[in-house]
Structure 1
Amino acid sequence: MDCRVVVEAAVPVYDVESADEAVRIAISKTGEMLNPDLNYVEIDMGERQCPHCGEPLEPAFVAADESLVALLLEMTVYNVEREEHASRIARKEIGQRLENIPLEVIEVETIETDDDSSDDSKAESDDEDVLPEFDDLMED
């Protein structure tokens, strides 16, 4: 089974004047730490909400020219047995490159593949050709 895992990271940024600037710097800083080993991890702004009223807040909190930015890091983990296994792998892989940055798994979603979606293919007999679809294409 393959899973898409979304991890939230709290990235500190220093010497900033605005939330927009902090987000840009945090995305750049995170990209540098992940590349080239994890260049397949997608980086996006996080979504924060007011704990009291539920209204959306900016992904960066700025105070005294320093900021804490919420980023979402998304990666696909292949060949895992359970969603918990996928989340541990994602946290470990990302966490090794983002030292001293808190991470929290936000979402784990199973990705349907051709192998997972049909159990009929597993029940087919072994007598069939290895590539019947290829033969069909050649006849057309």
Structure 2
Amino acid sequence: MGDYVVVLEAPIIVRDVETSEDAINVAVSKVAKALNKEKLDFVRVEIGYSQCPVCGAHFESAFVVGSVGLVGMYLTIKVYNAQTVEHAERIAKAVIGKALKKVPLKVYEIRELTEEEDGNGVELD
């Protein structure tokens, strides 16, 4: 049994926004509200970053076209007592997917949990 930190990538669509900053604020609020409703306050929410294909510079993953925004977000959760890395991935997707219905979740990163990172998360008995 292993303990893992799983980072999932999620695209969040928001409507009636004018700027990328507005889109980010609305998306963070929308995700936080959905997670809190399911009592998943231990999931860390961060704005995703994209890389410019031309210059290589990093920028926040928020795009607005015609008052509709697309915001890339990273959702981090700690999974305890998972049998394998794949098992940890399935647990993370199931737990977060319960709150964010109809949002495709993709694994961005999975790593073993270190002693310094120990804390809240999902534990299987």
Could you state the TM-score of these two structures normalised by the residue count of structure 1?
A: 0.75
| Aligned 8 A contact 2:47 2:60 in 1 | no
**Aligned partner letter, 1:61:** F
Aligned partner of 1:5 in structure 2 is 6
Shift, 1:55, TM fit: 2.7
- Aligned to 1:39, the other structure's residue is in SS state coil
From the two aligned structures, give the one with the greater helix fraction.
1
Deviation at 1:82, TM superposition (A): 1.2
Secondary structure of the 1:100 match is coil
Q: Determine the structure 2 residue equivalent to 1:32.
A: 33
Report SS of the residue matched to 1:25: helix
Whichever of the two has the greater Rg, that structure is 1
- How many angstroms apart in 1 are the aligned matches of 2:65 and 2:19? 10
TM-fit CA distance, 1:112: 3.4
Which of 54, 60, 63 is the equivalent residue of 1:61?
Answer: 63
Query: Which residue is 1:22 aligned to?
Result: 23
* Partner in structure 1 of residue 119 of structure 2: none
Could you say what secondary structure the match of 1:85 adopts?
helix
The equivalent residue for 1:41 is: 43
- Unpaired runs of 5+ residues, structure 2, are 116-125
Alignment partner, residue 94 of structure 2 = 92
* TM-score, reference length from structure 2: 0.84
| Structure 1 position 62, deviation (Å) | 0.4
* Whole-angstrom distance in 2 between the partners of 1:86 and 1:34: 19
Distance 1:112 1:58 in 2: 28
CA distance in 2, matches of 1:52, 1:7: 26
Deviation at 1:3, TM superposition (A): 0.4
Inter-partner Cα distance in structure 1 for 2:55 and 2:101: 33
Aligned to 2:80: 78
- Aligned residue number for residue 120 of structure 2: none
- Share of identical aligned residues, percent? 41
The amino acid that maps onto 1:84 is E
Q: C-alpha offsets along residues 86-115 of structure 1, whole Å, 9 cap, x if unaligned?
A: 1111011111211111211100010135xx
Rounded to whole Å, the distance in 2 between the matches of 1:108 and 1:56 is 22
